[in-house]
């Protein structure tokens, strides 16, 4: 079958619309790319100030944390960020040790563990020795653990609370 013509059941040829449609779409796409208008002054300033050098979009002018609803998860920066905060002279504060029990859900990554508590599922930061110990735990294991909450400087986000495991063992 030729793209330009097609045969009807009676043997007569009819013109196909495929080439015309393709040409029209191509011209529209080219015209859309060439017709860029200048941004209004307020949009241009937002576009230049919207990103920081780290690639994080600053949307503070659009949505406030209060209007966004309930958070899905708590922000937990990596241990490297707390080392930077300590090196910059910002003190890292921590709470007293607290004991709790919950259900071990598994390792979230190389330095954190997910534990389901009676009220919520929490991701705790953990040292390498504790991570090695928890690799032997099965998912769904009941555990007793001791933890602290560190407050670290989150840069532009202010202070961030980070729960850290001190010890963990299978519940008896």
Write out pLDDT tens, residues 19-52.
888 888 888 888 777 665 665 555 555 555 444 4
* pLDDT value at residue 157: 76
Q: Which residues have a Cβ under 8 Å from the Cβ of 97 and sit 6 or more positions away?
A: 146, 147, 148, 166
Domain ranges of the chain: 5-34, 79-170
Tell the residue number behind the tokens 């949009």, with chain if given.
Answer: 43
Put simply, whether the predicted model's pTM sits higher than 0.75 gets the answer: no
* pLDDT value at residue 81: 46
pLDDT-derived band at 112 (thresholds 50, 70, 90) equals: very high
d(CA 147, CA 124): 8
Runs of H (alpha helix) within 35-94: 41-49, 79-87
d(CA 168, CA 100): 10
> 103 - beta bridge partners?
116, 142
* pLDDT value at residue 86: 46
What percentage of residues in the chain have a pLDDT greater than 70? 57
DSSP reduced 3-state for 124: strand
* pLDDT value at residue 170: 92
**pLDDT surpasses 70 at 150:** yes
Average pLDDT over residues 6-25: 73
H or E segment to which residue 130 belongs = helix 128-134
Question: Which CATH number applies to 79-170: 1.10.8, 1.10.1760, 2.40.50, 2.60.40?
Answer: 2.40.50
SS3 content of the chain, % helix, strand, coil (to 5): 25, 35, 40
**pLDDT surpasses 90 at 116:** yes
pLDDT-derived band at 8 (thresholds 50, 70, 90) equals: low
* pLDDT value at residue 11: 64
Average pLDDT over residues 141-158: 87
């Amino acid at each position: 079958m030729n793209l330009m013509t097609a045969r009807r059941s009676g043997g007569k040829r009819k013109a196909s619309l495929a080439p015309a449609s393709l040409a029209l779409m191509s011209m529209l796409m080219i015209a859309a790319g060439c017709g860029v208008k200048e941004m209004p002054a307020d949009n241009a300033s937002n576009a230049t100030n919207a990103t920081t050098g780290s690639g994080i979009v600053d949307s503070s002018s659009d949505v406030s944390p209060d209007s966004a609803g309930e958070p899905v998860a708590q922000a937990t920066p990596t241990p490297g960020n707390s080392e930077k905060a300590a090196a910059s002279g910002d003190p890292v504060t921590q709470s007293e040790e607290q004991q709790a029990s919950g259900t071990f859900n598994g390792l979230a990554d190389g330095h954190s563990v997910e534990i389901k508590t009676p009220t919520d599922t929490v991701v705790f930061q953990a040292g390498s020795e504790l991570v090695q110990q928890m690799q032997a735990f099965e998912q769904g294991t009941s555990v007793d653990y001791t933890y602290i909450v560190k407050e670290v400087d989150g840069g532009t986000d202010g202070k961030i609370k980070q729960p850290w495991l001190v010890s963990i063992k299978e519940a008896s």
